[in-house]
Amino acid sequence: MSKIFVDACLGKETPYTPVWMMRQAGRYLPEYMAVRAKAGDFLNLCHNPTMAAEVTLQPVDIVGVDAAIMFSDILVIPDEMGMDLSFVKGEGPKFSDPIKSQEDLDRLLGGKEAADRLTYVYETIKIVREQLADDKALIGFTGAPWTLATYMIEGQGTKTYNICKKMMYTNPELLHNILAKVTEIVKYYLESQIEAGVDVVQIFDSWAAAIEPSKYDEFSWKYMVEIADYIKAKYPHIPIIMFPKGVAAFVEQGLVYGNFDVFGVDWGTPMALAKEKLGEKYVLQGNMEPCRLYSKEATKACVSSLAETMKDGRHIFNLGHGILPDVPVENAKYFVKLCQELSRRD
């Protein structure tokens, strides 16, 4: 059965513009919190395919999105490379032994060996695919090599990125070696996700904007292009969504090379500008400011304006970054319904 979400990602005509929400499987849903409480530690939830599948499916049933995104986290890759990940309550992710040298990097697993350890992700996908309606898509994902490297070098989330940027300017060879090693794993990881049953893959470059524009291609974009080339050569029918958050200033330069189908536009970039610069090459995804979900009026104004801007363009509705945990579920449902209604063409 054809999936409207996949068709839209590939730029085909669809009866309406499909919608999903970044971080849609998460803490704003009481049903998620119930499973999360049962799992205890956040990583236990990622490691348990039955529970991970259950929370993957919740937003489809509860808020009516057109695609599910597999429940996991971008940081399971460095964890399986051997980096000892933990989630500290109230503080976020932590790696006990961040990479400081080539020797540190050489100690970590790479390639297929590392990707093959992520069996619980592939198992989750198989369970979801059995339970998900045929007309709904399942999105797999990965962190971009650059975004993953920021955690692997800093050991945690950061506001300044000073440790990884120090490496960028004083020891670029080591940073490139880290990025190349992660890129190799990501290729196999996405391939295994596709073999397990995902219909679409998304690459999250959440910390793209930490890199100055003249260095972005060298330290991030070109690695994602390499990943996309690898996947497209094997699976030309699988759409690839690229989400490089906060690169509004780079759009002028035209990030127009690479085998991606969809460009995720963050909420700081005017959709009309993105359409002008990137709309010819890519289907555009996005880009409501997630905090608009606190107000139905603010949501409606934005969805109407996006539907108008994109009425003759190729588009997927989404938020311009992740949904926040205190958003009322009712407002999330309202957003989804409104997107589907206001973009109807039949």
Residue labelled with tokens 């793209």 = 208
Tokens of 216: 């972005």
Candidate residues 16, 17, 36, 77; the one interacting with ligand 1CP per rule CB under 6 A: 36
Nearest CB to ligand 1CP, comparing residues 36 and 277: 36
Tokens of 194: 């596709």
Tally of residues, the chain: 346
Least Å distance between CB 65 and ligand 1CP? 10
Q: Should residue 206 be labelled a site residue for ligand 1CP when binding is judged by CB under 6 A?
A: yes
Least Å distance between CB 117 and ligand 1CP? 18
Tokens of 84: 């000892």
Nearest CB to ligand 1CP, comparing residues 157 and 328: 157
Whether 129 is catalytic is no
Query: How far apart (Å, rounded) are the C-alpha atoms in residues 149 and 77?
Result: 11
Q: Should residue 303 be labelled a site residue for ligand 1CP when binding is judged by CB under 6 A?
A: no
Candidate residues 5, 16, 28, 71; the one interacting with ligand 1CP per rule CB under 6 A: 71
A 10 A CB-CB count for 296 gives 15
Candidate residues 141, 146, 317, 335; the one interacting with ligand 1CP per rule CB under 6 A: 141
Whether 36 is catalytic is yes
Among 28, 32, 36, 79, the one annotated catalytic: 36
Candidate residues 18, 26, 155, 258; the one interacting with ligand 1CP per rule CB under 6 A: 26
Nearest CB to ligand 1CP, comparing residues 76 and 174: 76
Whether 344 is catalytic is no
Nearest to 344 by CA among 17, 64, 118, 44: 17
Nearest to 7 by CA among 190, 186, 261: 261
Whether 73 is catalytic is yes
Nearest to 87 by CA among 41, 139, 121: 41
Nearest CB to ligand 1CP, comparing residues 24 and 285: 24
Nearest to 161 by CA among 110, 220, 102, 73: 220
Site map (CB under 6 A) of ligand 1CP, residues 90-129, x = contact: --xx------------------------------------
Site map (CB under 6 A) of ligand 1CP, residues 304-333, x = contact: ------------------x-----------
Element (H, E) at 310: none
Nearest to 161 by CA among 150, 171, 169, 170: 150
Q: Half-sphere exposure of 124 toward its Cβ, with a 13 Å CA cutoff? A: 28
Whether 84 is catalytic is no
CA dihedral 29, 35, 36, 37 (to 10 degrees): 110
Q: Half-sphere exposure of 95 toward its Cβ, with a 13 Å CA cutoff? A: 25
Site map (CB under 6 A) of ligand 1CP, residues 77-96, x = contact: ---------------xx---
10 Å CB burial of residue 172 (0-12, 13-18, 19+) is middle
- Using the contact rule CB under 6 A, the part of the chain among 21-29, 114-122, 254-262, 307-315 near ligand 1CP is 21-29
**Residue 194 CA to chain centroid, in angstroms?**
15
Least Å distance between CB 278 and ligand 1CP? 20
| Interacting residue ranges for ligand 1CP, rule: CB under 6 A | 22-27, 36, 42, 69, 71, 73-75, 92-93, 141, 157, 204, 206, 322
Looking at the annotation, which residues are catalytic? Answer: 23, 27, 36, 73, 151
